[in-house]
Amino acid sequence: MKLSKIIPKGPQKPVEPPAETVPLAFESKPEAVPSIFRNPIIEKGLSSSVPSGTPAPAPEVLPAAELKLEVTVKTPEPVKETAPLTVGTEKQRAFNTYKVLINIAREIAGMKDKDDFAGMKSSAEKIVKKVIDELMNDNDEILVLTAKTTNDNTMYSHLANTCILSLRLGLGLNYPEDKLIFLGTSALLHESLGNAHIDLTRGVVIKQRDNARLTKEIYDRIQAKDFSGSGYEAKELSDMAKIIGLIDIYEGLSHPRKLRERKLPHEVLKMFIRSSDEVFEHSIVKKLIEELSVYPPGSYVRLNSSQVGFVIKANKKFPTRPVVEVIFDRDGVYMEKPERVDLLENAMTQISDAVDEDKLS
């Protein structure tokens, strides 16, 4: 299912789509980047996937009553002109941090007994602090990296991505630094002392009892002495377990696995909204969408101009109007110089559809 103004000439304040309808739907590779971070679609270009002159299909919208999602829409403050995209400090710093995080996750996955746990926990906490620094500096480049996974690093990237996304959600919930470190470390280690897992190979219908079991297993694990969680109240541990459980499922469904294809991120978020209160806690789902937007960083989208690009930054409070890097023009030709478009500054431009980059070529 696909989801989704004429303004007077002259400078105008951008207008966000009405709150009652919320449409639900990586970039030039750095030099010498390992294959797990590369995106072949950008290298190959788009031949005929976006027909010339063909207007994008009208997006389907869901009534607010069905979504059960309250998004407060305010007229945005004037936004300064966005600087041209360059492979700069933020991008390289995010890549370096993610690379170390993957290596730590690989070591965690290789742990054979609890004797390795104490030293690994210390290493995990150090890298978690770096991830927190990136997120607190509003560096969404590290979120873009969570969108890519290959079959040879599925396990490691799952742990790394669950850690990053859990931390983003924790920041949105105003967790203090010590609690963020605990949350991120727990997310990175949550599969190391057992088998907290929901079988997602048979479909994408998550039942309440499955999520409850996963949350309970994660709760028991982070409450264990190994995690030094005794300093937190049961409610705090329960909330953190719910965050990790939700992100664990989101990450698993939005990435390919050997026995099933992935779902696009906006499709997973849409499923969460429909299951909110019945399976997932509504307030946590709402905050997740507020932090990541309906189209999370790394998602490929088609604009109503027929151009194709991918999301590089979420605009909080405006879940349908992120910052997009356009890499294919309206004729489907790969652009040597990508164009960055902030949809908050371009009221007439909007996302018409989500795109699966694996099916573009």
Q: What is the CA radius of gyration of the chain?
A: 20
Banded model confidence at residue 20, pLDDT cuts 50, 70, 90 = very low
Residue 28: is its pLDDT beyond 60? no
Tokens 């264990």 sit at which residue?
224
Higher pLDDT: 23 or 322? It is 322
Share of the chain above pLDDT 70, in %: 59
215-255: per-residue pLDDT in tens?
Answer: 666 666 555 544 555 567 778 888 888 899 899 889 988 88
**52 close to 166: Cβ distance less than 8 angstroms:** no
Angle between helices 265-275 and 234-253 (to 10 degrees): 140
- Cα–Cα dist 291/313, whole Å: 10
Among 252, 194, 198, which Cα is nearest to 223's?
A: 194
Q: H-helix or E-strand containing 17?
A: none
Whether the predicted pLDDT of 344 surpasses 90: yes
What is the predicted pLDDT for the residue at 106? Answer: 87
User: How far is CA 15 from each of CA 61, 75, 77, 131, 350, rounded to the nearest angstrom?
Assistant: 18, 7, 11, 33, 11
Nearest to 311 by CA among 280, 333, 283, 344: 344
Nearest to 16 by CA among 320, 341, 354, 340: 320
Partners of residue 280 on adjacent β-strands: 276
Please state the φ and ψ torsions of residue 40, each to the nearest 5 degrees: -60, -25
Give the closest residue to 305 by CA, choosing from 335, 344, 332: 332
What is the per-residue pLDDT across 103-155, written as a single tens digit (0 to 9) for each?
A: 998 888 777 665 566 678 888 899 999 999 999 998 899 999 998 766 566 78
CA-CA distance, 243 to 194, in Å (whole number)? 18
Q: At what angle do helices 282-292 and 154-172 cross, to 10 degrees?
A: 100
How much is the mean pLDDT over the chain?
73
Element (H, E) at 20: none
In the chain, domain spans: 35-61+295-359, 89-292
Closest CA to 220 of 198, 203, 200, 244: 244
Query: What's residue 161's pLDDT?
Result: 94
Predicted confidence (pLDDT) per residue in 157-197, tens digit: 889 999 999 999 999 999 999 999 999 998 888 765 444 44
Q: Which helix (H) or strand (E) holds 334?
A: strand 334-342
Task: Read off the pTM.
Answer: 0.69
Residue that wins the pLDDT comparison between 285 and 110: 285
Considering the domain delimited by 89-292, tell me its CATH architecture.
Orthogonal Bundle (1.10)
What are the pLDDT digits (tens) for 64-99?
A: 444 444 444 444 444 344 444 444 688 899 999 999
310: β partners: 300, 325
Separation of alpha carbons 3 and 22, rounded Å: 8
Structure tokens at 167: 């931390």
Q: Say what the pLDDT of residue 280 is.
A: 76
Distance CA 112, CA 88 (A): 39
Band of the pLDDT at 33, cuts 50, 70, 90?
very low
pLDDT of residue 262: 80
What is the rounded CA–CA span in Å between residue 338 and residue 9? 26
